[in-house]
């Protein structure tokens, strides 16, 4: 698969088939993604690959906390406390578009809650990757980790697989830490669900828009036509 095709065909898959993914395939994806750049090549990341009974136990523990209404918070701030444009409108368009695709009305809190709950089933994926970063590092290493995450998802497309990056799992870092025996220095960034797309699922036909080049790039020093 050409790298352009891998990047363009990557999307957030929210329903997976139960088909397993081999350890060798996952190791290959991580090896390829490990070529992601990092400042001074410090490679500040760790990837915990979870499948089978370990994944079922992790999912069950997180779901129990979610269903109980326990208060959980991530160890880093992902979103702003106050939204503003153009980001508020983009966020709303994404959320409303997904719910519309699923036939979930805005006022249907029960179905919205159930869709949120599916995050913690990893959308039925047979594999979850938990990406962590050494908490003693600084902001630049978060940039490095982001490049690894993108590379993992792109490399998965090269193997005919799909993914969904899940920041929602960062809220349950204490449970993940206990379940996987993470080192104290590891800060949970996100999970990535990995597997084969369920092609008939309506949620997998929802493709988010991207801003045109002229809205996000400014070219300096080029001659105009």
DSSP for 135-174, written as a single string: TTS-HHHHHHHHHHHHHHHHHHHHTT-EEEEEGGGGGGHH
Q: What is the pTM of this model?
A: 0.94
Mean pLDDT over all residues of the chain?
95
Q: How confident is the model at residue 225 (pLDDT cuts 50, 70, 90)?
A: low
Residues in the chain: 225
- Structure confidence at residue 107 as a pLDDT band (50, 70, 90): confident
Query: What is the predicted pLDDT for the residue at 106?
Result: 84
The pLDDT tens digits for 58-96 are: 999 999 999 998 889 999 999 999 999 999 999 999 999
Distance between CA 33 and CA 163 in Å, rounded? Answer: 14
Look at residue 70 in the predicted model and tell me its pLDDT: 87
Q: Is the pLDDT of residue 152 over 90?
A: yes
- How many Cβ atoms from other residues are within 10 Å of residue 197's Cβ? 19
């Amino acid at each position: 698969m050409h790298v352009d095709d891998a990047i363009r065909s990557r999307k957030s898959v929210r329903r997976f088939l139960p088909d397993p993914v081999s350890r060798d395939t996952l190791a290959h994806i991580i090896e390829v993604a490990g070529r992601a750049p990092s400042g001074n090549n410090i490679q500040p990341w760790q990837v915990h690959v979870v499948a089978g009974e370990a994944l079922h136990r992790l999912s069950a523990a997180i779901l129990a906390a979610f269903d109980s209404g326990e208060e959980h918070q991530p160890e880093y701030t992902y979103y702003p406390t106050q939204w503003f444009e153009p980001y508020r409108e983009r966020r709303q368009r994404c959320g409303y578009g997904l719910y519309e695709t699923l036939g979930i009305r805005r006022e249907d809190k029960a179905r919205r809650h159930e869709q949120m709950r599916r995050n913690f089933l990893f959308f039925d994926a047979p594999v979850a990757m938990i990406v962590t970063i050494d908490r003693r590092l600084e902001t630049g290493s978060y940039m490095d980790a982001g490049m690894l995450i993108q590379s993992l998802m792109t490399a998965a497309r090269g193997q005919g697989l799909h993914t969904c990056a899940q920041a929602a799992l960062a809220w349950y870092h204490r449970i993940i830490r206990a379940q996987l025996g993470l080192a104290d220095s590891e800060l949970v960034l996100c999970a990535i669900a990995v597997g084969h797309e369920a092609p008939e699922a309506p949620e997998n036909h929802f493709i988010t828009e991207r801003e045109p080049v002229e809205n996000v790039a400014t070219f300096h020093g080029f001659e105009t036509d």
